[in-house]
Structure 1
Amino acid sequence: MAAGLGVLAPPAAAEAGRRVHPGDSIQDAVNYARPGDIITVMPGTYYENVLITKRLTLRGFGARTVIKPPVTAVTPATPVAPPATGGSAAPAAPGAATAPAATTAPSGRALACSQADSGICVMGTAEQPVVGVDIRSLTVSGFKRNGIWASYTDRLSVQRVISEKNGTWGIAQERSTRGLFRDNTARDNAESGLFIANTVDREGGATDTLGAVVRRNTLTGNRIGVTVRRVRNLSVYGNTLTGNCGGIFVVGDEGEPGAGDMTIRNNRIHENNKFCKGNSRLPDIQGAGIVLTGAEETVVRSNDIRGNVGASPLSGGILLFKSFVGATNTDNVIRDNVVRDNKPADLANQGTGTGNRFVNNRCASSVPAGMC
């Protein structure tokens, strides 16, 4: 009837869609987008850093849409760059590569993204988090620090992204809630393929992610596949982790409340036997399946963990590891896992924590003996 009266509703995509072609600037499209817009990045290679500070969708064509570091070196007038961890400002190196100048980007955060050598940054503030950003079907490759970096976000969604060969984290988030990380590939990143933390520039108690989800990702060739540090209330399930130095690390260490209240289930964690040299905080990492340190009330169930072999203190299938700062693992449940051919042991419970239970796991060796 509406059509008969000459009233035609335009498609939503036509109202809100923007396209970026090779040679165009993704950042310019982001700057001029209205909240809720969809930006489609066409196949090609784009040499820039991208800062997002508003609700929008940024999508591409998977391996055919590639974002790489800028190739034009300039010296910024205001050298304020965060360190690799995303913390307080530090002087930028002369000649640091930056994205092309943008007319409407908030200058402070734009500099923070480009000088931090990260591919895509989603950055809000404590007073006004960025809500509802959706990043999907893109490749971010070769950045000096992070492929995707997010701070002060709510309901950030990262799906079907390839993040590879970055100098720190593949996909990382801090100070954020209700994130969804699904069907991504993070490979050959120097630190964690996928990293979720309370905050990276100081110590402190765990924060509530309000139900963040890490689901069906493939993580390979990284130092650690997935690290969740000083956070609570999230799930890590259905992921495939292989060829990393370590599979999944749950890190609490210090502060109140403690890290935990999470579920790690139905993950395939095989042969994470790459060797990574230790640092001031952790020993060498090799052959580590799932490691809990300073965690509480976490359920590890129905995972398939095989062939993780190494001679590190962190090696083995599922390990409750004594924290270097004295925090204990308490009230965790390890049940219904298949844990085979891991060395030095399939299951290990170290430290003096209480209330940890190992139930109905299919394994051959444990430390102490008797948990299989």
Structure 2
Amino acid sequence: MAVIRVPADYRTIQEAVNAARPGDTVRVAGGVYAEAVTIREGRDRLAIIGPGAGDAILQGNGIGPGFLIGGSGTVTIAGFTVTGFEFGIEVSSNDNVIRDVVLTGNARQGAGVAETSFRSLFYRVTASQNGGDGIEINGGGNYVIRSELRENGDDGLDLNGPTNVALHNLISGNRDRGIEVQGDTALIAGNRVVGNRIGIASTAGQHLIYDNFVSRNQTVGILLQDSDNSLILANEVTCNQEEGLFFNGGTGFRVIRNKVESNGHDGIELSAGASEAVVDDNEVKENGLAGIRPGSATARNVVRRNKLKRNSPDIEDLAPAGANVFDENDCKTSRPTGPCC
């Protein structure tokens, strides 16, 4: 295994990659590199290391990806700004590491992961002001950790494949959703999701959505559409312009120990036949409409031990009498009377 230097050994990054063998390191000096780089077969465990995102710039002309990780896996890319391409980085292999990279000003996505690509890591990546999504992940078992996804033209982060993970990211100011989830069994934890159109949205299920701060989004804080068996635990959902937590259908989900405050509409709304849910031990206060509102078509939900105050009203149950169960809720106002103890 060798260390290859650009421009000392090869004039371009692509020439150095073409000369590399499995396990080699390509070290790139500071500068602007007006090229696209493709990692083909036979270069597993290759590392392409720049001196830092502010010092090494991969500059595109609006066409194709800046870095394409194709036939080789366990590739590392670090220490670059990637700008001016159609896609900043495209990944279609497994087990790669993209870290300490800035993806900005690309016409479509900052980064994309193919449906057949698994277990890649995005760590301390900034994806900002790209035309579409900041990062779109279509494969499974990938990780986005301690990254910043902001001011992109569509979503900050898309998790379309199964069993993907988003941990401790800042996701802000994106035109549509902060995080959109279309694949099952996602882990979404410790993220700060602020100032997007919708904070976190999902049309899949079996997620753990834990310990996120979701605030000042233009519509809903957390929106789950027909999402079965998800656990929404210990999130702080505040100051969103519409609902704090909105469950549009779905069954068997659990909403536990969340802090839901000062949202413009309902704090927690269950709608469109949402059923068999557990809504326990939440703190729900000062929302513009109801604190907790089960809709007219909901059934077999249990709402227990929640603390509610200064909502309008604290609990509004629109379902037929006895369709849902209310027990030990600490609140003052309800329609009809009865759900408050």
TM-score of the aligned structures, taking structure 1 as reference length: 0.67
Amino acid at match of 2:316: V
The answer for the alignment partner of 1:290 in structure 2 is 245
1:265 aligns with 2:233: yes
In the TM superposition, residue 32 of structure 1 has moved relative to its aligned partner by 7.0
Matched-pair contact (CA < 8 Å) for 1:13–1:38: no
Q: Secondary structure at the match of 1:246?
A: coil
1:123 aligns with 2:114: yes
- From the superposition, tell whether residues 190 and 57 of structure 1 become closer, same or farther in structure 2 (CA, over 3 Å): same
The answer for the alignment partner of 2:221 in structure 1 is 247
Identity %: 19
In the TM superposition, residue 371 of structure 1 has moved relative to its aligned partner by 3.3
1:47 aligns with 2:32: no
The answer for the alignment partner of 1:301 in structure 2 is 256
Could you tell me which of 179, 182, 189 is aligned with 1:194? 179
Structure number with the bigger relative contact order (C-alpha 8 A, sep ≥ 6) is 1
The answer for the alignment partner of 2:103 in structure 1 is 67
- Provide the rounded CA distance (Å) in 1 between the counterparts of 2:231 and 2:150: 26
Q: Secondary structure at the match of 2:158?
A: strand
- Provide the rounded CA distance (Å) in 1 between the counterparts of 2:169 and 2:224: 20
- Provide the rounded CA distance (Å) in 2 between the counterparts of 1:320 and 1:371: 16
Amino acid at match of 1:40: A
Could you tell me which of 12, 18, 23 is aligned with 2:57? 23
Alignment of 1:69-108 (within 5 A): 69-70=105-106, 97=107
1:160 aligns with 2:146: yes
In the TM superposition, residue 60 of structure 1 has moved relative to its aligned partner by 3.3
Q: Secondary structure at the match of 1:331?
A: coil
- Provide the rounded CA distance (Å) in 1 between the counterparts of 2:131 and 2:193: 19
The answer for the alignment partner of 1:57 in structure 2 is 96
- From the superposition, tell whether residues 133 and 25 of structure 1 become closer, same or farther in structure 2 (CA, over 3 Å): farther
Identify the range of structure 1 (352-361 vs 52-61) with the bigger mean alpha-carbon deviation. 52-61
Q: Secondary structure at the match of 1:140?
A: strand
Matched-pair contact (CA < 8 Å) for 1:270–1:308: yes
In the TM superposition, residue 33 of structure 1 has moved relative to its aligned partner by 7.7
The answer for the alignment partner of 1:342 in structure 2 is 287
In the TM superposition, residue 190 of structure 1 has moved relative to its aligned partner by 1.5
- Provide the rounded CA distance (Å) in 2 between the counterparts of 1:216 and 1:185: 9
Q: Secondary structure at the match of 2:308?
A: coil
Which protein has the larger Cα radius of gyration, Structure 1 or Structure 2? 2
The answer for the alignment partner of 2:163 in structure 1 is 178
Q: Secondary structure at the match of 2:69?
A: helix
Amino acid at match of 2:221: G
In the TM superposition, residue 235 of structure 1 has moved relative to its aligned partner by 0.7
**Deviation by residue 1:122-143 (Cα, 9 ceiling, x = unmatched):** 012xxxx211111111111112
The answer for the alignment partner of 1:320 in structure 2 is 270
Amino acid at match of 2:142: L
- Provide the rounded CA distance (Å) in 2 between the counterparts of 1:32 and 1:135: 16
Task: Extract unaligned runs of 5+ from structure 1.
Answer: 1-11, 71-96, 98-116, 199-208, 253-258, 274-285, 310-314
- Provide the rounded CA distance (Å) in 1 between the counterparts of 2:70 and 2:156: 27
Matched-pair contact (CA < 8 Å) for 1:41–1:58: no
Instruction: Provide the aligned C-alpha RMSD in A.
Output: 2.2
The answer for the alignment partner of 1:134 in structure 2 is 121
Matched-pair contact (CA < 8 Å) for 2:210–2:233: yes
Matched-pair contact (CA < 8 Å) for 1:18–1:29: no
- From the superposition, tell whether residues 145 and 46 of structure 1 become closer, same or farther in structure 2 (CA, over 3 Å): closer
Task: Extract unaligned runs of 5+ from structure 2.
Answer: 1-22, 26-44, 318-333
TM-score of the aligned structures, taking structure 2 as reference length: 0.72
Q: Which has the higher helix share?
A: 1
- From the superposition, tell whether residues 28 and 165 of structure 1 become closer, same or farther in structure 2 (CA, over 3 Å): closer
Q: Secondary structure at the match of 1:319?
A: strand
- From the superposition, tell whether residues 248 and 357 of structure 1 become closer, same or farther in structure 2 (CA, over 3 Å): same
In the TM superposition, residue 260 of structure 1 has moved relative to its aligned partner by 1.0
1:235 aligns with 2:213: no
Amino acid at match of 1:236: I
Matched-pair contact (CA < 8 Å) for 2:71–2:92: no
- Provide the rounded CA distance (Å) in 2 between the counterparts of 1:272 and 1:185: 17
In the TM superposition, residue 243 of structure 1 has moved relative to its aligned partner by 0.6
In the TM superposition, residue 41 of structure 1 has moved relative to its aligned partner by 2.6
